A = this chain, B = another copy of it.
Amino acid sequence: MSAQPTSKALQGEVNRLKLELHTMHTERGTSEITVANYILTRLVQLGVTKMFGVPGDFNLAFLDLVEDHKSIDWVGNCNELNAAYAADGYARVKQTSLGVVTTTFGVGELSAMNGIAGAFSEMVPVLHLVGVPSTTQQKARPILHHTLGDGRYDAYTIASQQFTIMQTSLNKDSDVARLIDDTLVACITRARPVYMTLPTDMVYEHISAERLKIPLARHPAINDVETEDFVLDVIEERVKEAGGDVIILVDACVIRFEVQDEVNDLLRSTGFPVYATPMGKTAIDESYERYGGVYIGSITQPLVKERVESAKLILSIGLLSSDFNTGNFSYNIPIRRLIELHSDHTRIQYALFQGVGMKQLLPKLTERLKQFHANASKIPVEPFTSMVPKSMGGDETIVHSHFWPRVGQFFQPKDVIITETGTANFGIMNIPLPDGAKLVSQILWGSIGWSVGSALGAAFAARETGKNRVILFVGEGSLQLTVQELSPMIRHGLTPILFVINNAGYTIEKFIHGKYRKYNNVDNWKWTGLLDTFGCNSGKPSKSYTVSTRTELDRLLNNEEFGAAKQIQLVEVVMPALDAPDVLTQTAGQKA
């Protein structure tokens, strides 16, 4: 099959759109719109319905327009870091859209920086929109509040260059509409955060609305036709040599670059067994009969490890090779047996093919490889299951080896499950999740406290995309960093279930270093008092529970009213201080 016609057609379409845009551009002024509403209109076109952030005097005029907007709601976070986390969580669950966080000059934007850097690291499309002093003030550079006192008005933008792929300053001399479009396109096609400053006097500035008639295309660069054709030939040849003994390994970028449908087609057409990395977990449904579980290098469950590493060829899709995602770089897969498909390149064994991205390659690869179905479908795959272990001697202590399989039974199709960096990220790993369930975690960046803000954004996105319940697992140490973000959850009537693992400190740190050190302990708050403290004047219902025994845990998880998740609920799960999931102790052990 030739790859040529499709690409040619695409190239033609691109040329046509470019020309049309150019024409529109010259007819500037036919229909006008304010800069702020141009941005908001584009965001609506891209599916944005929520804007996260904190008001500050340089963004207030813009927030008037957000508050009055009929399709975008202002969420109003308790602080900017949490707002950035929420925008990240929203983008992760919404998937075909982006997250937006609005802050104010200096103080607000710098508070959000860790959240933005996390979105960069983990490839999440987030727009960081910053209200800044007027263009006049930026020229005169007085020592305004929120400045460094030395007239350096560009310091924050310079810092943000490290953590965003594009920094756009909107001002009167610039081609504002085009800049906004280019910035948003960069964000959504490259799945990375972008940074845009909106001066106070630009909010109501009028620009042409003509470009808005043509929607922004969320398409990656078009593959080079001849290279792509060559790549398809070589992969087909390698698979033939391997006699169809191929396994597929799905990773984070399958989700980030939205090739889940393409991967599912490939899997069903070829019958190749499939495994996921920690960051690729739930990229495909874990109930799929040819799915064999999670591969984490040397700390993989033995039979899964054997199946993956003994395959003649491993086709890795969307690989993200970080330490915690690979069992500390312990893959036992020779490069000779490895093919990697990425968003903008392909690797076959030792050869790199730039400009061949997976989005367009995958459907063609499916056509090429479906001939192997008969052989491939005979490759054995162990069913991916977990069992709740029997209590020894009636032990009622809730330990990780019991807790995770038990909550595994509680999950329902389409649940959104958010796990915090720490015991939760590792505990969930080998638990099969139901159809349509989505696991959201931050394994590469690993900023503690992220999951709480992220859960807020995820809960909005879940509601909008027809997902089921939102279930958060967070350690009490991590919760302390971002606890105030429970407040907007209550205000907006979101109904997540929040499992707070109370095990007397930063357990993941204890397993890395300082098991008995005081610095790894945290204060033991009245966890079940939090929802009441934040929400008792809100008029919104909430409920909190403590479970200290397996029987109490069972009773709660079996309670239909609890499982229906009609109100926000917090469960304090009391666990021993020095108990951890096996995957965590093994990972920590490797590091030592």
Contacts and interface: CB of A to CB of B under 8 A. Distances in A.
A411 to B, nearest CB: 26
B57 A509 contact: yes
Contact of A149 (B322, B512, B533): B322
A155 B147 contact: no
Interface stretch (A218-226, A428-436, A462-470, A524-532): A524-532
A484 B480 contact: yes
B481 A78 contact: yes
Contacts of A149: 120-123, 320, 322, 444
B329 A142 contact: yes
Interface string A460-490: 0000000000000000000011111001101
Nearest to A512: B57
A271 interface: no
A56 interface: yes
A117 B148 contact: yes
Given A67-B518, A523-B490, A322 B145 contact: yes
Interface in A51-83: 54-57, 60-61, 63-64, 66-67, 74, 76, 78-79, 81
Select the residue from A149, A163, A535 with max chain B CB neighbours within 10 A: A149
Given A484-B481, A509-B56, A145 B443 contact: yes
A148 B106 CA distance: 22
Given A155-B163, A509-B60, A526-B532, A519 B329 contact: no
A514 B59 CA distance: 11
- Number of identical protomers: 2
Interface in A124-182: 142-149, 152, 155-156, 158-159, 162-163
A171 to B, nearest CB: 21
A512 B60 contact: yes
Contacts of A534: 523, 525-526
A121 B144 contact: no
A60 B514 contact: yes
A541 interface: no
Given A64-B513, A78-B480, 18 more contacts: A60-B513, A60-B520, A61-B513, A76-B519, A107-B118, A110-B117, A110-B163, A146-B446, A147-B444, A149-B320, A152-B162, A155-B162, A480-B487, A483-B484, A484-B484, A490-B523, A524-B538, A526-B536
24 contacts: A55-B509, A60-B520, A63-B519, A64-B517, A76-B522, A79-B481, A81-B111, A110-B117, A111-B113, A111-B447, A121-B147, A145-B322, A145-B446, A146-B447, A155-B163, A159-B163, A480-B487, A483-B484, A484-B484, A523-B535, A523-B537, A524-B538, A529-B533, A529-B536
